[in-house]
Structure 1
């Protein structure tokens, strides 16, 4: 709660989190009902309180109390002063009689604790306590009421506190030890690299002043440890509860874990670090539903959780990476994925994907809000956040998903679901027939289809609530698509588009369309996330122009910026612009021969390992085939579509200190950033593209909207800036250390334009002419 900091020997906890610790028991069970969205929940609370007598009803009552050194705080949903009844409001969908006894017990525990906090604050001797369940779909209320004396409520409150107290004392002691260790923490290397100290000082200033920092720092200076170390050092003085290190890729998370492992050694291992991984990567029983009847690791989960949690956090030298969490979980016979979610409450640093904080329902953001933690955020490779956020706040309905749902066994067995799906199909087909052309933009979501979708998800939800043990993957998949669309429509604005385009799916019928709510400017959503944290640093080697990123990422007006100069010398990198080559789509066939000739000449002039980047797999294959045909003596390796992680490692494994060859890759793919091939492992790169997004109706609509929102910058914001950013990222694979030397060939005449060159790193020394080698 907003309050003065507690003394170091005190511990503060929210009512919800206290009850989650003390009152949860039994199985992990995710069968109850589809949960309302956050906005639906807020609206539901508002409808319940709006029905009450405004002269005698109070809502959102801020309460707190102490038990020994523990402070418990929260907001009671409502209190009727005339009836002397405190209400705990819960919104739901589906059938209330499907709720598990354990879930009901948890809700009662929360209500009773609020009851005592209110009795103590108001001097009440007794009161009624009501659980108010509000059905989002029918808008019906169901009340369960108990009468309690203040004495009995106090006893209940103190009993819960005693259950938590031993843990609270351990947590308070850990916090003191952690802060002392961080104050004494030394840098994990003998000295800072060039530029690294400047970055570290800026991160420390931003974290201590509670600001958002946008920092561009070149590849190779050690950005990972250069941001983590100062953020950790700032934690004690700012009473920061948690540090979240978020990255878009596994490689970035691994670098963070390695840096934290070194820093923990320096800090006498007083820092709890947790790696969070996706459910599909940590599930021990893929295909099983998450409840005790289907998965043994869900059975009795909350009964075995306390000992598993204690064991996981008891070993101070253990960094809680995926394998460590899995090991502890399986010893206690519980789910590793959900154990990691529980551990997130009690660690100091979490390393995970962007979605854990930025996405709808992101766990880390939800915990931050529930506990009102002071959080410092580090966003690695922040140039990726725009596209990732667009994906988080977009949704597409596909005819294939509807088709699979309609053909499912559930539709055959459940007439109401079959009827609802048929209604959706009719409305969708009518829109398909009315559409002229392959692509159309709508100012609002078509109301007839929206009504059918709303009724459909209600019918599906009711069916699953009635049959919780028979979850149909095809129907559930369509349900999730629709729920995401409905959630996005609650916040629809000029930051997004509603469009329909002819489906390109393999089995799509003529005239079928995909319908999308397509976010193009994630700023309004992300601005709420920056407001939730004490401080944030977004860093990358490619954040130019910074105003572009600030606009689209919704950074606060008073955010700070930093551009760290390169530690590399122009002599380390020869940059050539091939003005005689055009890789525009219309000229692509004609470009293959000169591109191959240039690559072969460079390889002959200096044998070693190179990466060649292309705009598409098709173009990559055409050039690779031509090089293989005309110069069979040059070894080459090709990136393929949908490479698994093992295949990616195999591809990179061919780049050794002694090997020679050219690796063909797609710009913006797995090998265009986040890989480290220093020294002789990589001595050059060929860029046969400007990286500009494809010219198509969707991008043209995005460009038009960007023009409207950002004063005519549509082309730059849609095409030029994102494209050149990918080019610089890919080229950045060549020079990784102060000892590296290499060459880059920018194979397109447009690289010679002043507007384009201004977006390339200043330390690059462009030849400005076409060399003799390039003209051979």
Structure 2
């Protein structure tokens, strides 16, 4: 059995040395890099070959890759690197790696064509000026063969170790058994659908109710399918920390007694040990000599089959290397990787880039996938604030200050509170390009971190200019006046064009959640392939476990909110009196919540209440949830769609009911109206896609907090007359039996809600 390794991966493993050095990032964007390569190759003579596929063997290794360019007439093979700034600032260890890659390609070419020697050229292309700097050498085939054998020799032991691991892993997974005595109701149905999706290399949208064990029910079939489908990596992606913990727990349970390697990826700001230092050896001690100490740290990390954040940090600090970048390295050698959506779906997604470069076969599991539309939009949205620009300019040294002054002068004038621009402002984009180049040079020169205001605007400007390269009908550019200042945004409306490549590269992608209806909304917005399968898993719960009542005599529309407060308080008190216990009451905003809580407390002071507050930290959120005890009594007031509307587990008597005083519809404002218009033009369902579906999704998520197990009993009171109308009722779970709340009359039906 051969171990296949890319030329780049081989060289990164064996030829990287010295410090971790990120002073010279961000590098040119992918689009800029592609364009730079095209400019360089267009300058070459006829007969010049690009993307030359080369491969060769050494022992168990099959080394393959694509050389950037080859001129047969000159026997000249080229490696093209794009960069920004001054050539002299490219670190020696970067060039050392680039030479290693080029020499491997030189050997593979000599071996393929029987050449006795070859000319090699490293071509560095500066994006801004278009200038090429060319470093050349001539090497004999014998010299290159020796260099190749040396690199392979240093990698073979690791490769053989990895081959043995893969063989043992696949053998164990082929014999994997479900970790519990039996499947929960609905769990087998989900597992079978996920297995079929992986067997057929398809995407799957799986709506599965809370409480059936979706995490184990989705991860188990993927691991079971991995040996036969030759799956290299399983990515378990979640929107929030609790979801990632569930993924780690499931992987730990399933991997017990197997050689399965599990890795948790944390955000860089959470993993950083020295947030006051820059990421290079002159500033951070964990970056100094990083690549020299990495081999020992990498080997030590393999002794921990469960590399969660704590274990990764322990190994990293024991070897004086950065925990975050050790995690990035271990992603290459792990079987199950647990992390945030952005690692696969964002513009510069690390795992997507690695899978593309190494030709991994990846199965992706997306937990709580109802979050994907809003999260994907946010990934491909960026705003620049004129106040932040002013603060950055004030903090900038002279050259950067001058460049930022040009940005100020090119800033479009805001003549209205909100307006959509007909096109991107070209003069501003040009000024931003100049400014980011100037700041990049500044960052390269100084070891200390820049002023926070300057750094913040710099990163926003980079993101903005990169989004500008892919601007199209899927996004809009708008200008919002904010007092004397304004904000300029590239705002994504439809994430599909950005995500299609992610679904195409994955062997299979399963998106699962308790709320994925209607499926066509998610399919359209996310750009899922036409072959995507859909399953609505039967609920294990029965209608007699959850009383669902509609208070059809109350309107929570904005203009009716003041009038709704007293009847809502009466309704809540009546329900609480009939069955005292722990309840959650959800409202559409903090203002509405506070008004309702104040009136309720005045009229019913004997009922304990506690409120979600704005900008709660983790300890405050934990304290809020700790009030929900088995023998507790009272009502917690929360905002729908906030921290307590999903992802919390309060089984049994810890939560016996929920009042939901809103449809959860997004606020009608100029931005959302633009989204509605774009959705209408694109899909013919502007109101539903912008307001109705996202709103009801939050309602169903919140209601799902009440019944968590087959033994739970509870009540959900839906407070608004629109809950009785057909378009809304059709989006609620099938197993619910809905009745009128006491005093509200019959549940009405009717046309579309307003």
With normalisation by structure 1, the TM-score equals 0.95
CA shift for structure 1 position 34: 3.1
The aligned runs of 1:98-109 (5 Å cut-off) are: 98-109=89-100
CA distance in 2, matches of 1:400, 1:468: 27
Q: Judge conservation of contact 1:34–1:94 (CA < 8 Å) in 2.
A: no
CA distance in 2, matches of 1:470, 1:536: 39
Residue equivalent to 1:23: 15
The aligned runs of 1:298-313 (5 Å cut-off) are: 298-313=287-302
Pair 718,470 (structure 1): closer, same or farther in 2 beyond 3 Å: closer
The aligned runs of 1:257-268 (5 Å cut-off) are: 257-265=248-256, 268=257
1:384-422 residue CA offsets vs partner (Å, 9 max, x unmatched): 0110000000110011220111110xx2x32x2112111
CA shift for structure 1 position 774: 12
The aligned runs of 1:347-358 (5 Å cut-off) are: 347-358=334-345
Q: Does 1:497 align with 2:476?
A: yes
Residue equivalent to 2:441: 462
1:136-193 residue CA offsets vs partner (Å, 9 max, x unmatched): 0001000001110111111101100000000000000000000000001111110001
Q: Does 1:423 align with 2:406?
A: yes
CA distance in 2, matches of 1:96, 1:107: 14
Aligned pair partner of 1:539 in 505, 512, 515? 512
Q: Judge conservation of contact 1:601–1:773 (CA < 8 Å) in 2.
A: no
1:286-341 residue CA offsets vs partner (Å, 9 max, x unmatched): 221111121111111111111111011024xx411000001111111111111111
Residue equivalent to 2:548: 575
Q: Specify the SS of the correspondent of 2:580.
A: coil
Listed as ranges, the gaps of 5+ residues in structure 1 are 1-8, 504-508
Listed as ranges, the gaps of 5+ residues in structure 2 are 748-754
CA distance in 2, matches of 1:463, 1:177: 50
CA distance in 2, matches of 1:643, 1:297: 33
Residue equivalent to 2:258: 269
Q: Does 1:45 align with 2:57?
A: no
Q: Does 1:752 align with 2:741?
A: no
CA shift for structure 1 position 354: 0.3
Q: Specify the SS of the correspondent of 1:277.
A: coil
Q: Specify the SS of the correspondent of 2:143.
A: helix
1:574-613 residue CA offsets vs partner (Å, 9 max, x unmatched): 1111111111111111111111111111111101111111
Q: Does 1:319 align with 2:306?
A: yes
Residue equivalent to 2:118: 127
Q: Judge conservation of contact 2:551–2:740 (CA < 8 Å) in 1.
A: no
Q: Specify the SS of the correspondent of 1:734.
A: coil
What RMSD, in angstroms, separates the aligned Cα atoms of the two structures? 1.4
Pair 769,605 (structure 1): closer, same or farther in 2 beyond 3 Å: closer
Q: Does 1:452 align with 2:431?
A: yes
Residue equivalent to 2:191: 200
With normalisation by structure 2, the TM-score equals 0.97
Aligned pair partner of 1:172 in 138, 141, 163? 163
Q: Judge conservation of contact 1:33–1:464 (CA < 8 Å) in 2.
A: no
Pair 774,733 (structure 1): closer, same or farther in 2 beyond 3 Å: farther
Residue equivalent to 1:87: 78
CA distance in 2, matches of 1:361, 1:299: 25
Residue equivalent to 1:210: 201
Number of corresponding residues = 747
CA distance in 1, matches of 2:487, 2:367: 33
CA shift for structure 1 position 468: 4.8
Q: Judge conservation of contact 2:50–2:70 (CA < 8 Å) in 1.
A: yes
CA distance in 1, matches of 2:184, 2:371: 25
The aligned runs of 1:113-124 (5 Å cut-off) are: 113-124=104-115
Q: Does 1:238 align with 2:229?
A: yes
Residue equivalent to 1:436: 415
The aligned runs of 1:324-343 (5 Å cut-off) are: 324-343=311-330
Aligned pair partner of 1:14 in 3, 6, 9? 6
Q: Does 1:383 align with 2:370?
A: yes
Aligned pair partner of 2:635 in 649, 653, 662? 662
Q: Specify the SS of the correspondent of 1:547.
A: helix
Q: Does 1:731 align with 2:703?
A: yes
Q: Specify the SS of the correspondent of 1:674.
A: coil
CA distance in 2, matches of 1:393, 1:637: 37
Q: Judge conservation of contact 2:551–2:744 (CA < 8 Å) in 1.
A: no
CA shift for structure 1 position 559: 0.8
Q: Specify the SS of the correspondent of 1:407.
A: helix
CA shift for structure 1 position 469: 4.2
The aligned runs of 1:682-721 (5 Å cut-off) are: 682-711=655-684, 713-721=685-693
Q: Judge conservation of contact 1:393–1:518 (CA < 8 Å) in 2.
A: yes
1:2-36 residue CA offsets vs partner (Å, 9 max, x unmatched): xxxxxxx3211111111110011111111124310
CA distance in 2, matches of 1:296, 1:101: 19
CA shift for structure 1 position 663: 0.9
Pair 744,470 (structure 1): closer, same or farther in 2 beyond 3 Å: closer
CA shift for structure 1 position 768: 3.8
CA shift for structure 1 position 502: 1.0
Q: Judge conservation of contact 2:381–2:491 (CA < 8 Å) in 1.
A: yes
Q: Specify the SS of the correspondent of 1:314.
A: coil
Pair 61,772 (structure 1): closer, same or farther in 2 beyond 3 Å: closer
CA shift for structure 1 position 276: 0.5
Q: Does 1:66 align with 2:57?
A: yes
CA shift for structure 1 position 689: 0.6
Aligned pair partner of 1:515 in 488, 491, 499? 488
Residue equivalent to 2:87: 96
Residue equivalent to 2:394: 407
Q: Specify the SS of the correspondent of 1:333.
A: coil
Residue equivalent to 2:750: none
CA distance in 2, matches of 1:131, 1:600: 76
Residue equivalent to 2:751: none
CA distance in 2, matches of 1:160, 1:456: 41
1:490-510 residue CA offsets vs partner (Å, 9 max, x unmatched): 11111101000112xxxxx52
CA shift for structure 1 position 772: 7.2
CA distance in 1, matches of 2:671, 2:744: 41
My pick for the range that moved more, 220-229 or 636-645, is: 636-645
CA distance in 2, matches of 1:161, 1:480: 39
Q: Judge conservation of contact 1:611–1:663 (CA < 8 Å) in 2.
A: yes
Q: Specify the SS of the correspondent of 1:513.
A: strand
CA shift for structure 1 position 436: 3.2
Q: Specify the SS of the correspondent of 1:344.
A: helix
CA shift for structure 1 position 688: 0.6
Q: Judge conservation of contact 2:276–2:449 (CA < 8 Å) in 1.
A: no
CA distance in 2, matches of 1:752, 1:668: 21
